[in-house]
Structure 1
């Protein structure tokens, strides 16, 4: 189990050492009390975008938390 403070500001890489981004925020499922997504950008920046831009923003910036393999000095994602 990870704490939110373990995630914020960490650099995110895939298994091949490719830089993906930096964890700027998280989305939590309150019913499950679990982190559902890592966010590479501030989620408030989605406001004012049309539907196509919003979908693109979500696809590019929301990372499903189940892809996380490890959190240490960096976050590593599985493919």
Structure 2
């Protein structure tokens, strides 16, 4: 995968699937087990390292985080398949 192809994929996710997937498909990708939204990720939380806990709260391995300036983003650590 190139940086360009990853960029296209991530823009598609951020834009609710426009041009590639339907909005409904993207919404379903963001749902976690237990019928909620993508969980917030804390670099200081031991729960993030607990595979059982993380797998029960992950939607395709995405997590939300907040930068020091208040901006939120979602990402993937690469730790989940």
TM band (smaller chain): under 0.3
TM-score (norm: length of structure 1): 0.26
Higher strand share: 1
TM-score (norm: length of structure 2): 0.26
Greater RCO, 1 or 2 (C-alpha within 8 Å, sep 6+):
1
Higher helix share: 2
